[in-house]
Amino acid sequence: MTTGDEHSRINRAAWNRMADQYQEILAEMGTPSELTWGWWRHPEQRLGVLGEVAGRDVLDLGCGAAGWARRLADHGATVVGLDASARQLAHAGAAATAGARTVALVNGDAERLPFADASFDVAVSNWGALSFSDPYVAVPEAARVLRPGGLLVVCTSSPIYRLCTAPDADQPGTEIRCGYSDLHRSPGTTGTVRFQLP
């Protein structure tokens, strides 16, 4: 079991270490022209979870190199991209100013958001901070910075995917390998601490 400070430190260090390789993999996959969710790139246009973002204040929790944040800005949103990893944000630096609109970048932790209450209309985590922070802390924190009626959208793996992934494996198998109660907090394959609250 890790404390909040411990898992934040572990995950920040892991993402600083992995950032260059992660961005290389994303570059090889190519940049999607539209807003798409997750590793399998489900189009927002088909899922329709965000609604209209033009004119809205949007917070991207765990923005990485700000690909999503930048596309949200292209749709007319005012976007802040937050990430715990300075190395990920270094990749975002060039990307975030390359489009027609700029995206504000903040180095910070989803469990301790450096924003005033009721600052945003929408918060998103596209395999982002909410997969690596304690939902009992990060969800109320997201709610705090959202305006009344605000929307929090989290894209993460399904409980079945996690249940079938052995602690030392990086891909799921065909058998249940951990208990449902282990899903809240579990060791990730890349030296991270993973969280999932189904």
d(CA 190, CA 193): 9
CA distance 142 to 112: 9
Site for ligand SAM contains 120 (CB under 6 A): no
Residue 129 Cβ vs ligand SAM, minimum distance, rounded to whole Å:
4
Provide the token pair at 145.
């910075």
Report which secondary-structure segment, H or E, holds 111. none
d(CA 111, CA 129): 9
- The smaller minimum CB distance to ligand SAM, of residues 15 and 120, is found at 15
**Which uninterrupted H or E stretch holds 145?**
helix 135-145
Contact between 73 and 101 under an 8 Å Cβ cutoff? The reply is: yes
Query: Does 196 engage in binding with ligand SAM (CB under 6 A)?
Result: no
Of 44, 95, 128, 196, which lies in the binding site for ligand SAM, with binding defined by CB under 6 A?
A: 128
When binding is defined by CB under 6 A, the residue of 15, 78, 105, 194 that contacts ligand SAM is 15
The answer to whether residue 109 forms part of the interface with ligand SAM (CB under 6 A) is yes
Smallest separation, CB 196 to ligand SAM (Å): 13
Neighbours of 39 (CB within 10 A): 11
Binding flag, residue 126, ligand SAM (CB under 6 A): yes
Interface residue with ligand SAM among 36, 88, 156, 165 (CB under 6 A) is 88
Backbone angles phi, psi at 126, to 5 degrees: -95, 90
Closest CA to 101 of 64, 149, 32, 53: 53
Please identify, using beta-carbon distances, which residue of 124 and 163 lies nearer to ligand SAM: 124
Near ligand SAM in 36-75, by CB under 6 A: 62-64, 67-68
Q: How far is the CB of 51 from ligand SAM (least distance, A)?
A: 20
- Residues in contact with ligand SAM by CB under 6 A are 8, 11, 15, 62-64, 67-68, 82-85, 88, 109-111, 126-129, 132-133
